[in-house]
Amino acid sequence: MQLQDTPEEWRVVATTTPFEGNKTSVRTDDVVMPDGTVARRDYQVHPGSVAVLALDGAGRVLVLRQYRHPVRHKLWEIPAGLLDVPGENPLHAAQRELYEEAHVKAEDWRVLTDVYTTPGGCDEAVRIFLARDLSEAEGERFEVSEEEADMELARVPLDELVRGVLAGELHNNCLVVGVLALTAAQAGPGLESLRPAEAPWPARPFEK
């Protein structure tokens, strides 16, 4: 048995889009099941996202605290954002998000992991990068608004984030996955074994 996710697409006999928002939409598909029956599946259509686990020379992770209205919480997160342009290079999008949200740049970039956030109800795919060799970005800070205007920034030791994740105190998807993936890579094959920043991403193909 090969332990690897594989592409597959079951036949869709009808589809509608009952809601279309600014960035995402909701789609309803009638899907033919293996036994020949037809089941209706509603899901959110999402452009995809990138996230950045930025690790400084002292072993601290750059995190931010932001209000998230759907869950009625202020969550500690890592910098992240949407792939606003179809086919956009995810590395370029990640570099932009790190600059806009933290006014930081990084010289060393690698792919930490790729995930589907909620594959039972949304097609969002996220590429989480590891960024190292950090420094302050040049120029003026990016002007923020709405929830981001209330955002807090901090640098937290990795082991403290791991403790918070396992204690059920930290809940943001990308932070949890990124922190645990980084810990596993450090304890296993090492960070140099991670994929290059421009590694192919079948879930969201892009041009280099």
Of 122, 131, 56, nearest to 92 by C-alpha is 131
Respond yes or no: is residue 136 known to be catalytic. no
Question: The tokens of 104 are what?
Answer: 């930081």
The active-site residue, picked from 107, 148, 192, 207, is 148
> Can you list the pairs that 97-102 forms with residues at least 24 positions away whose Cβ atoms lie under 8 Å?
97/50, 97/51, 97/52, 98/52, 98/54, 98/131, 99/137, 99/142, 100/142, 100/144, 101/64, 101/142, 101/148, 101/151, 102/54, 102/62, 102/64, 102/153
**CB atoms inside a 10 Å sphere around CB 173:** 18
3-state secondary structure of 47: coil
Just list the catalytic residues: 148
